[in-house]
Structure 1
Amino acid sequence: MKRSLIIEAAIAIALLPLISCGGSSSNGGKIQFTASGEVLALGGYGFPPASGAVAFVDGWEIRFTKFLTTIDKIKLYTNPDSSPTDQSQVGSLVAEVDGPWAIDLHKGGPLVGKGGTDEKAYPIAVLDNQNKNGANSFDPATRYAFGFDLIPATASATFLQLQSNDPDYQDMISNGYVVLYVGTATWLGNGTGGAACTSPPGSSFDFTTLPQVVNFKLGFKTPTTYLNCQNPDNDPALGIGGEDHQRGIQVQANNTVVAQVTVHTDHPFWESFVHDSPAHFDQLAALATKDASGNYNVTMQATLGVDYTHFKFGSADLAWRSCVPTGGQGQYNFPNQNPYMGFVSGNIPHNPSGDPTTSIRDYNDYMYYNQSTQGHLNSDGLCFVQRHYPSHP
């Protein structure tokens, strides 16, 4: 890990003259902003999973060909600990770097990411002073609250790891997508080395009727601000109010620290609104349609009007399926023993005809809500989520 950090710092310093932002050159600390989808955006989710690797519990291998988003308005504020119970509360704005930057996180970048040597990140910008506070140097004794936006695709973006005429990004512009997943899911739950797939007692669904290979193109119209993020780089300092990590970024005198905008890939596929819930793809395979070439495809359009509490394949109840070890501590456990698969939305009511600001109407709303939590700082630092589309807070 130390070697990774040294390499990362060396590359970051080499890039400083090319991408620095700020009104004056400071001899104080600098902050380099980078972006990463972590190793899972690069290689996807294998199955059967390697030891300790994240996997889709229902036996699907997920491979991405593109993972596109647009980042904007990276901001720093004073007083990240303004409120132990309300993470949205910060002090005054002291620095800001505006994009927007369109990026394909599947392609990685020249820097080592915060998740380790097999993770890649791409440099966005460097700040060497408080450009919204008189160009003062950053104070090494102060932590600064960190935030950023993911915004709808725009032709005015600076393109990173992506061509401006990329047809999928042009599709994002036309449809107002903030994040777009493009790739292929292949069911490999019967592969050598995998656990035997199981369903709860009483389930009778014939899984051989599901498509075994599904192309997906999932676009999310979910502009979101991620505010006052926790920072794993501050460990072992304790997070305020029982949070996992201390909030904010702390510079180092005459050195450069990295603030990585991290976008996790698994969130839209979770079975609940609990962070790090198990991921599934069966429910999307059940919505796929066959094209003229005989290929199965699924988009977010197919999730509109779908009851996420009771999934079906045609008229048949779609059952839970686990192709990983089940039933023990640290293993996957079915959320319930119902003979059909259904997700839960916690304390947000399910109401198909309800107001999207007070309820979850369908699987489209459900996926949007989970996906909009995918922005983090430095790998796993949770942020306050401000949704800028019709949604429950």
Structure 2
Amino acid sequence: MLRSTVITLVTAFAALAGCTAGGGATGRVQVFVEAEDTIPEGLQPGSGEENIVDGWAASYTKFLVVVGNFRAGRSADSSASLSDPAVYVVDLLNLPVGGFVLTEFADVEAVRWDRVGYDIPNAPADAEAAEGTSAADLEFMVTNGFSVYVEGAITKADGVSCVPGTDECVAATEVKFAWGLAAGTSFDDCAPEEGDAGFAVPSGGTAQIKPTIHGDHWFFTNITQGAEITERRAQWIADADLNHDGEATLDELRMVKAAAVFTPELGYSVTGAQIPVTTAYDYLEAQARTLGDFQGEGECPTRAAL
């Protein structure tokens, strides 16, 4: 269903199908919210690029994110714009086949729109539930003002949980987590993994645009702002279970010094974080502010706190 949108310099009174009133070719734009495979499929231990290298596996039982305020413009014409301010709570483990349609635009000028952005905001009072998202989850996110909420666990047959910064360890084969964060962030200058920034609208056709939410960034050993050149590690989550009850809570993360678990010897760097990183909680929040990507593995490198 088409939402009420703002389309500057694109008229609905086209004289011919696929053409603007001025004679220029037009097309359509569909914007989908897509979940990276790590969200429904989890992550496996191993030495591959997508594996967790310290032997843990990770899986999610809940992954809620707030997405909206899609926008697009053109460097060549600052007055041209597409925008839809609608914001949705999206259950990424219950997406419709093909993804959730965030918004659509008709009669869009068939050129390259090279300035693209969207938000992962803290849930506002007027947020809507996406298709596949329950009313209870919508209320939960709005009541708490979260931008993202995840539940899941890391598992390892011979796993241990160690007092941060020491060799004092106990057996820990599973460590659960349930994290809600108010880490609202805007994502702009989106570009696919290869090719020019933004997207091109085909004459008489449809451009399908996919803001993609990633599920592995808190396992990264650095704060990526371009290509995801990083390792994935999960031991810090096990070590943050300070009372060894099988769950790493946000309160416990706030008590763990970042310097004790995110060490240079393990390849960690916090360069580029939007917030100061002094605790494990700060690291989690800093990574939550990077979850918004584009067309799968493409990036939206211009980020700002909302």
Q: TM-score, normalised by structure 2?
A: 0.80
Question: For 1:344 and 1:38, how far apart are their aligned partners in 2?
Answer: 24
Separation in 2 of the partners of 1:228 and 1:204?
42
Q: Which residue of 1 aligns with 2:27?
A: 29
SS at match of 2:93: helix
Deviation at 1:210, TM superposition (A): 4.1
Offset, 1:264: 0.8
Would the alpha carbon gap of residues 189 and 126 (structure 1) be closer, same or farther in structure 2, given more than 3 Å must change? Answer: farther
Question: CA contact under 8 A between 1:230 and 1:247: conserved in structure 2?
Answer: yes
How far does residue 360 in structure 1 lie from its aligned partner after superposition?
2.6
In the alignment, structure 1 residue 104 sits paired with structure 2 residue 65: no
The answer for the alignment partner of 1:158 in structure 2 is 128
**8 Å CA contact 1:211, 1:286 repeated in 2:** no
SS of residue paired to 2:83: strand
- Seen in structure 2, the aligned counterparts of structure 1 residues 278 and 188 have a Cα distance that, compared at 3 Å, is farther
* 1:179 matches 2:132: no
Q: 1:344 and 2:269 equivalent?
A: yes
- Quote how far apart the aligned CAs of 1:64 are: 0.7
| Partner of residue 292 from structure 2, selected from 371, 375, 380 | 375
Is the 1:210–1:285 Cα contact (8 Å) retained in structure 2? Answer: no
Displacement of 1:20: 5.2
Tell me by how many angstroms 1:227 deviates: 0.7
Match of 1:114 in 2: none
Structure 2 counterpart of 1:213, one-letter code: E
Are 2:220 and 1:222 aligned? Answer: no
CA distance in 1, matches of 2:39, 2:29: 24
More strand by share: 2
What percent identity do the matched residue pairs reach? 18
Structure 1 pair 68–78 and aligned structure 2 pair: CA distance change class (3 A): same
CA deviation after TM superposition for structure 1 residue 109, in Å:
2.4
Return closer, same or farther for 1:227/1:91 CA change in 2, 3 Å cut-off: farther
Whether the 8 Å CA contact 2:185–2:305 is kept in 1: the answer is yes
Aligned twin of 1:323? none
Q: How does 1:1-393 map to 2 (within 5 A)?
A: 18-19=1-2, 21-22=4-5, 24=12, 27=18, 28-47=26-45, 54-79=50-75, 91-92=78-79, 94-111=81-98, 121-129=99-107, 137-138=108-109, 140-160=110-130, 161-166=132-137, 169-188=138-157, 205=167, 209-232=170-193, 235=194, 245-274=195-224, 275-288=228-241, 296-311=246-261, 336=265, 343-346=268-271, 359-388=276-305
Q: Secondary structure at the match of 1:72?
A: strand
- Is contact 1:71–1:100 with CA below 8 Å preserved after alignment? yes
CA distance, structure 2, for counterparts of residue 41 and residue 303 of structure 1: 22
Alpha-carbon distance in structure 2 between the residues aligned to 1:102 and 1:210: 37
User: Structure 1: 5+ residue runs without aligned partners?
Assistant: 1-17, 83-89, 112-120, 130-136, 191-196, 198-202, 236-244, 312-317, 321-334, 349-355
Q: CA 1:271–1:142 in structure 2 vs 1: closer, same or farther (change >3 Å)?
A: closer
Q: Distance in 1 between matches of 2:187 and 2:272?
A: 22
Task: Compare 96-105 and 170-179 and name the one that shifted more.
Answer: 170-179
Task: Name the CA distance, whole Å, in 2 between partners of 1:75 and 1:231.
Answer: 16
> TM-score when scaled to structure 1?
0.64
Alpha-carbon separation, structure 2, partners of 1:158 and 1:48: 39
User: What do you get for the CA RMSD once the two structures are aligned?
Assistant: 3.1
- The alignment of Structure 1 onto Structure 2 pairs a total of residues equal to 283
Does the 8 A contact of 1:310 with 1:342 survive in 2?
A: no
Does structure 2 conserve the Cα–Cα contact (< 8 Å) formed by 1:21 and 1:127? no
Residues 1:220 and 1:210: Cα distance change in structure 2 (over 3 Å): farther
**Secondary structure in structure 2 of the residue aligned to 1:296:** coil
Counterparts of 2:201 and 2:46, CA distance in 1 = 42
